[in-house]
Amino acid sequence: MHRLPPVTRALLMANVAVFILQLVTGDLLVGPFALWPFGSPQFRGAPEFEIWQLVTYGFLHGSLTHLFFNMFALYMFGGEIERLLGSQRYLVYYLVCVVGAAVAQLVVLGGMDRPPMPTVGASGGVFGLLLAYGMAFPQRRLMLLFPPIPMPAWLFVTLYGLLELYLGVTGSGQGVAHFAHLGGMAAGYVLLTYWARRRGPRP
């Protein structure tokens, strides 16, 4: 981990530390810091949405497996993007993707008439990093885990995005915030395009 640039290293450490705190405190952090949909108070005992949840939910995780896959992706792609953008701009980019994912999730949850469920996880930021990686290094080879098929980064990102869209529209993969993943990618693309137009670093 010492070879990672500072912000990526700090994000990894923060997520792991918060998860350990979750293990110690149980569900104590979920109420105030997970992402809750608008209107939650209409359901008896449900926590309310608060503005800080747009960021804090991205540091909570539902299980060790959830944490592992998000942190593995952050480790794999975060360092490259941080070196490309610079630490300050990289942090802004990551947080914008986290917030963009939260906004997308709130929009989707707002159209559902059912008891609110909290959203947690760094996936929105991770999917933003995946998009940036695909734009920055389109010909780099990435290997799927299942099945182990190598493909260029641009194709990997495109297929992953299409899969998330399909799963979100069809309602497959219950319990996974597919539209939040797409929201993280969309927010990342908008920000990268804005920076490119201002002659900023260009993945």
Q: Specify the CATH superfamily of domain 6-197.
A: Rhomboid-like (1.20.1540.10)
What integer pLDDT is reported at residue 146 of this predicted model? 60
Residue bearing the bigger pLDDT, 164 or 195: 195
Give the number of other Cβ atoms within 10 Å of residue 48's Cβ: 14
Q: What are phi and psi of 148, to 5 degrees?
A: -75, 80
CB 98 within 8 A of CB 74: no
What are the sequence ranges of the domains in the chain? 6-197
User: In sequence order, what are the residues at sequence separation of 6 or more whose Cβ sits closer than 8 angstroms to the Cβ of residue 198?
Assistant: none
| DSSP notation for 109-156 | HHT--S----B--SHHHHHHHHHHHHHH-TT-EEE-SSS--EEEHHHH
Least confident span in 86-100, 165-179, 187-201: 165-179
Q: Encoding tokens for residue 56? A: 């804090």
What integer pLDDT is reported at residue 181 of this predicted model? 85
Predicted TM-score (pTM) of the model is: 0.87
pLDDT digits (tens, 9 = 90+) for 48-102: 889 999 999 999 998 999 899 899 889 989 999 999 999 999 999 999 999 999 9
